[in-house]
Structure 1
Amino acid sequence: MTRFRDFLDDKAHDFPEHQRPAVAGSPATPSHDPATGLAHILVAVLVGTTAGLGSALVSVNTAQLQQVLGLSVEQAAWLTTSHVMTAVSANLLLIKIRQQYGLRRFALTSLSLYAALALAHLLVSDHGTALLLRAASGFVSVALIPLCIFHMMQAFPERWRLRGLVLGIGVTQCAIPLARLLSPSLLASQGWRSLFLLEAGLALLSLAAVGLLRLPPAERARVLRPLDLLTFVLMGGGLASVAAMLGLGRWEGWLQAPWIIVSLIFAIAALLTAGAIEIRRTTPLLNLRWLGHGDVARFAVAVFLARIVLAEQDVGLGCGAVAWRHDG
């Protein structure tokens, strides 16, 4: 029991002031020898690929899953939308959980849950349970992204640490092209089950790698408050409603499906209520005062518009192809 507890807990170490983490929940940043730095890079690539590939494999192969599982277009669209609905707000709560319970426990628990959820997909045959699993996977997968970034940043000296941050974020963005490259071979081997077997295998490999290569210890702090749950439910519910509208609106009709209008009203009410609560708190779940600064607000709007354009690129390509055939 003591060995198991030692495996889960961070090892205590007194780092110099300049190597200590800037905030609770983030690892210290000591210098590493080249071999250890390379190991951190490999673990970062593995964890980052695991974080994004599960969702990418489903989104790239939606048409195949629809045909094999006998789903309608709307039902197939829910597979990817349910993943996004939980992922979009997960970090609001996961950051504080990591800060309070420790980085290593957070990492090992997240990877274990992610692997278990991927394996559970192999046992599911009905659409409703599949949606629940995709939603749970979306929530847990967000926890893997900071692990990728932390490991990548460990590989660089202090003056280049921001480059590690950029590379860590870049690794997680390679999932879609990698999924397109791997999907034909996976589907040819064991069909759609191969997609989730690969997802589970990567999660188990990531769990082993993170367990063997420890991140430097992170400081812990008691940051969770009872009101956090209420604001998370309101913010998470509002953002999930927005994600559902954006994901299903083009298939069910923006003004034809009554649930879209209801979801919009609920999202506005929930987000405004959560904002009114958070802006008055001394330890908010989301720092709205910082987000309200002009530069941050403009950046957020630009990113949001870019995501909408990227989400519709497949439709644009399809329309372009149809127009080209017609003109030809």
Structure 2
Amino acid sequence: MKIYKALLNITPLILISAFICTSCSSRQDYKTIDGFTQGTTYHIVYQQPGADSLNAMIDSILMAVDNSLSVYNDSSLISRINRNEEVLADTLFVNVFNRSREIWELSKGSFDISAAPYFEVWGFGAGEKRDVTQPMIDSIRQFVGMDKVSLDSGRVVKSDPRVSLNVNAIAQGYTADVIAYAFDRLGIKNYLVEVGGEIFCRGVNARGNEWTVGLDKPVEGNMIQGEELQEIITLSGRGLATSGNYRKFIEENGQKYSHTIDPGTGYPVKQSLLSATVIAPDAMTADAYATWFMVVGLEKAKEVLAASPGIDAYLVYDKDGKFEVFYTDGIKIK
């Protein structure tokens, strides 16, 4: 069995969903911070005249999010919740949980942070892929669904102790939003925050132009960020996230299994949609919608977009073996 996953914890600023074109190093008042968090990388550029650094503030935010939401951290709040320990949810968890539940309802279950057990058996969690059978999927289905978990006075209440949560499909976007909010409160006008490929930016880059984001072409083997671009778009004052299946899949006995799992069936999706880039008022929403679109496919994604003011998308799909593109009017091609 071959497992292909983006090695985000090994190569910084290379294997991300969107390539960031900033050219900021030539301006002394634009500062850049790179690092690792939540099993992935982050890249932050911001304008701040003077010598003061915001590294300590950013580190504290990243640590707080990791301690709350990261399933890669055994002592995090979400890991303890998954072990059914008696804990009180913090503000970070509450915000992500509530927004996840809202989008679960909007998507009729296509976006579901309680679908973590499916990812485990298919080999996209901490363990190896198992020999998946329909009875196994049917058994897991009994404890998957946001209707089986709720918050009551800060405590997570499960109808079944086997309920397990994984917020990776929304947490990185939320992290970008939290850092962006901190920048806004400090009066920082120009910045770009990217966490695991999910972005929120405001203002302009060091050249005085809107930030530009390169979207990788969703071809198998395109594992290096920026090596082969599909499109370059401009972005400011909104969040962006990309989801795709071309970098994360498992191959077993000649069969490829996508890392996008349909919570309704428990099986990897088989869609013509190759990648979904979503732009929304915040990166958390963009992150969740990108996953939602990859689950439901091209036509349903178009329907959702038509009914969702403020949400834009750039969708790449396969049609008779060729790349085709659909994008909404709010996408600004450079």
Structure 1 length-normalised TM: 0.25
Greater fraction helix:
1
Structure exhibiting the larger radius of gyration computed from Cα positions: 1
Structure 2 length-normalised TM: 0.25
Greater fraction strand:
2
